[in-house]
Amino acid sequence: MTTGGTPCWFASPYSDNGGNCVEIAANLAVSQGVVPVRDSKTPTGPVLTFRANAFATFLTSLKDTA
């Protein structure tokens, strides 16, 4: 995993659903305080960027509903 400004994209190993998943670049959470998110089917498409603490809250809320 790289640090700095280069996103290191990955999808969850649990997202084996025919390619309909998102990828995140968690390596930027520490260095820049953000988590970029993109559609795995369109890697050159738009990227949503969330503050790291907001993304962590989002993940916690997903785990609480599972």
Q: Per-domain residue ranges for the chain?
A: 1-66
Instruction: Give backbone dihedrals phi and psi of 50, rounded to 5 degrees, phi first.
Output: -115, 145
- Read off the pLDDT of residues 11-51 as tens digits, 9 standing for 90 and up: 888 776 666 789 999 999 999 999 999 998 899 999 999 99
Report pTM. Answer: 0.80
| Cα 38 off chain centre by | 7
pLDDT of the residue at 17: 64
Q: 25 with 42: CB under 8 angstroms?
A: no
- Centre a 10 Å sphere on the Cβ of residue 57 and count the other Cβ atoms it contains: 12
Q: ∠ at Cα 11 (57, 46), nearest 5°?
A: 80
Higher-pLDDT residue of 37, 1? 37
pLDDT of the residue at 20: 77
